[in-house]
Amino acid sequence: MRRPWIVGVSGASGTPYAASVLCALLDAGEPVDLVVSRAARLTLLDETGRPFRDAHWKDDLAAWLGGRDGAPRDISGDDVTYWPAGDLAAGPSSGSYPARGMVVVPASTAACAGIAIGLSKDLLQRSCEVNLKEHRPVVVVPRETPVTRSHLEHLIALHDAGAVVLPASPGFYTAGAKASAAQLVDFVAGKVLDAIGVPHTLFTRWNGQLGGGR
C-alpha cells in the first residue's frame, strides 16, 4: 500500500527549504503528497518568480524543484500526488488515509496557530491535525523572528501534541562560516529528514573534529 509523506508548504518565507525537503524525499524514493497553501503561492512567487497553479501543478513543481542551474526537475519518475489546499475532501483530510506522517515546511505563524488550536481552515491545517491525532510523525518548521508569546505557546502546543518543532535555524558547523545559502538551506532540510528517519546526504555530519566542515 502506498503510504506517502504529506508535505505542506505554508506562506512563510523559506520556499527553498520546502524545495530541498521535497527533492530529498523524492531522491530517496519516498512517495509524497503535496499541499501548497494559498499564501505559499505568494511566497513562492516572491522568492522564485514562479507561479504555482492547481491546473498546472506538475509543470510548476518541475520548474520550482529544478535545480539551482535553472533546468526543470524531471518529475516523471517521482511518486507525487498533489492536493489543492481548498480540497477538504482530499485523501489526507482523513485519518483513514494511509500516510506516513507530515512535514510543514516552511510553517507560518498562522499555520502553527491553526494546527495548534485545531482550526483546520484548509487542507494543510486539517491534514496536519489528522497526522497528530493519529500519532504519526509530524515535523513543523516555523519561520518567523522575533516571536511573540502566542507564537511560542502555539509551538509548545504542537510539541505537546507530538510534533517535532524544528525551527528554520541553520547551523554553520557542517560547512563553516563561508557556507552558501544552499548549504544552509540543505542543513535545515537534512534535519527534517533526520527527524522522520529518511536517509540523505544533505550535509556532512559532525565528526568530533573542530573545523572539520571548513
Residue 192 CB, nearest approach to ligand FMN (Å) = 17
Residue 101: left (phi > 0), alpha (psi -120 to 50), or beta?
left
Question: Binding of ligand FMN at residue 15 (CB under 6 A)?
Answer: no
Using CB under 6 A as the binding rule, whether residue 129 contacts ligand FMN is answered as no
Report, in Å, the least distance between residue 91 CB and ligand FMN: 19
Cβ of residue 212: shortest distance to ligand FMN, in angstroms? 32
Pairing of strands 101-107, 80-82: unpaired
Count Cβ atoms below 10 Å from residue 79 Cβ, excluding itself. Answer: 14
Instruction: State the CB neighbour count (10 A cutoff) for residue 211.
Output: 7
Q: Residue 15 and residue 52: Cα distance in Å, rounded?
A: 12
User: Would you state the torsion angle of the CA atoms of residues 67, 122, 124, 155, taken in this order, to the nearest 10 degrees?
Assistant: 120
Distance of closest approach, residue 168 Cβ to ligand FMN, in angstroms: 9
Give the binding-site size for ligand FMN (rule: CB under 6 A). 16
Site for ligand FMN in 19-58 (CB under 6 A): 37, 39-40, 42-43, 46
Name which of 30 and 129 has its Cβ closer to ligand FMN: 129
Binding site for ligand FMN (CB under 6 A): 10-13, 37, 39-40, 42-43, 46, 108-111, 143-144
